[in-house]
Amino acid sequence: MYKKPMKISVIIPCYNEEKTIMEIIGLVHQSLNGYDYEIILVDDGSTDNTKIILEENSGSYEKLKVIFHSINYGKGAALRTGFNVAIGEVVIIQDADLEYNPSEYSKLIKPIEEGKADIVYGSRFKSGDTSRVLYFWHQVGNKLITVLSNMFTNLNFTDVETCYKVFRKEVLDKIIIEENRFGFEPEITAKISKIRPRLKIYEVGISYYGRTYEEGKKITWKDGFRALYAIIKYNLFR
């Protein structure tokens, strides 16, 4: 029996990514060729030339919608804005910095298309493809946050902090996002763990092309502490 393809919404939060923004938009378009899709890019108060580049070039892409925040609220706030206007049946989170490759969308979406999953996380620590060798203590921090999150949620994720998270839109519609910055990752994980009936959650291995701070990486040790706070807050007090 013929099954109508699902509409995909890709949400791209963006802050000061003048060097990569048009390239990531192009890669997302290429990766979704053959799908019914929309791209929602939320510029979160960029202070470099990102806004100018988007204003001058966004009209070249029919399926691209750009939303501008007046100031930098944070990744969680930008995602909240994108989720609120998304009309797809499936929502993909995509960073704007080229650390994650949109060519992997097909394997991220597949468990949902097949009816096996409600949510898919792309894990940098499962058997994916190429990964750049970078900061040891970042990896330790990521794994610590994942272990602590798993202890509270009783889920067995390998990478809670991954950018690549894919949701059925109906799941997101049940969740109110409160975190404005990088606390979003443990918050959303805690909240999906509490939904009943229990959701079907999958992980797939992905490649990862991490950046150095010289290349524009933004996350810091302060974000790690906020993630730990969010794990406790949204698992014990929500």
pLDDT tens-place values along the chain, 238 residues long: 445 679 999 999 999 999 999 999 999 999 999 999 999 999 999 999 999 999 999 888 989 999 999 999 999 999 999 999 999 999 999 999 999 999 999 999 999 999 999 999 999 988 667 665 566 767 788 889 999 999 999 999 999 999 999 999 999 999 999 999 989 999 999 999 999 999 999 999 999 887 565 565 556 767 788 999 999 999 998 7
* CA atoms in the 13 A half-sphere facing the CB of 23: 11
Are the beta carbons of 119 and 165 closer than 8 angstroms?
yes
- What is the predicted pLDDT for the residue at 27? 97
Q: pLDDT, tens digit, for every residue of 50-101?
A: 999 999 998 889 899 999 999 999 999 999 999 999 999 999 999 999 999 9
Q: Is residue 54 part of a domain?
A: yes
In a domain, residue 114? The reply is yes
In this predicted structure, what is the pLDDT of residue 131? 65
**How many domains does the chain contain in total?**
1
Q: What is the pLDDT of residue 178?
A: 97
Q: Is residue 232 part of a domain?
A: no
| Inside any domain, residue 69 | yes
- Taking the C-alpha atoms of residue 159 and residue 205, their distance in angstroms, rounded to an integer, is 10
Is residue 156 a part of any domain in this protein? no
Going by C-beta distance under 8 Å and a sequence separation of 6 or more, which residues neighbour residue 183? 76, 223, 226, 227, 229, 230
Residue 92 falls inside a structural domain: yes
Count CB atoms within 10 A of the CB of residue 100.
24
Domain harbouring 116, CATH code: 3.90.550.10
In a domain, 56, yes or no: yes
* 11 is a domain residue: yes
State residue 136's pLDDT score. 72
Residue whose C-alpha is closest to residue 100's, from 129, 64, 136, 126: 129
Q: Which residue has the tokens 């979003």?
A: 184
Can you give the residue range of the structural domain that contains 82?
7-132+162-181+198-212
